Amino acid sequence: MSMDDQQPEPVHVSTEEACSTDEACDQTQSQTETQGERRRKSESSSVPNSIERLRSEFDKLLGVAVEQGERALDRLGLFGNEAVWMPRVDVLELEEKVQVSFDLPGVTAEEINITLAGNMLTIAGSRSTGTFTTSGQTARVSERPSGQFRRSVPMPVAVDPDKVTASVQNGILSVELEKSSTVKPRQIPISSAAGTSF
Phi, psi of 71 (to 5 degrees): -65, -40
Tell which residue, 100, 58, 105, 99, has the closest CA to residue 85: 105
Distance CA 175, CA 143 (A): 26
Cα 33 → chain centroid: 38
| Arithmetic mean of pLDDT over the chain | 75
Average pLDDT over residues 13-37: 54
Fold of 82-129+147-187: Immunoglobulin-like (2.60.40)
The pLDDT confidence band at residue 80, using thresholds 50, 70 and 90, is very low
Domain residue extents for the chain: 21-78, 82-129+147-187
pLDDT at 181: 82
Neighbours of 184 (CB within 10 A): 14
The yes-or-no verdict on residue 154 having pLDDT over 60 is yes
pLDDT at 170: 94
pLDDT at 30: 55
Q: Tell me the pLDDT tens digit for each residue of 179-196.
A: 988 766 677 788 877 655
Q: For residue 95, what are the contacts with CB-CB under 8 A and spacing of at least 6?
A: 185
In this structure, of 45-49, 56-60, 91-95, 125-129, the range with the lowest mean pLDDT score is 45-49
**DSSP annotation of 184:** S
Average pLDDT over residues 145-153: 88
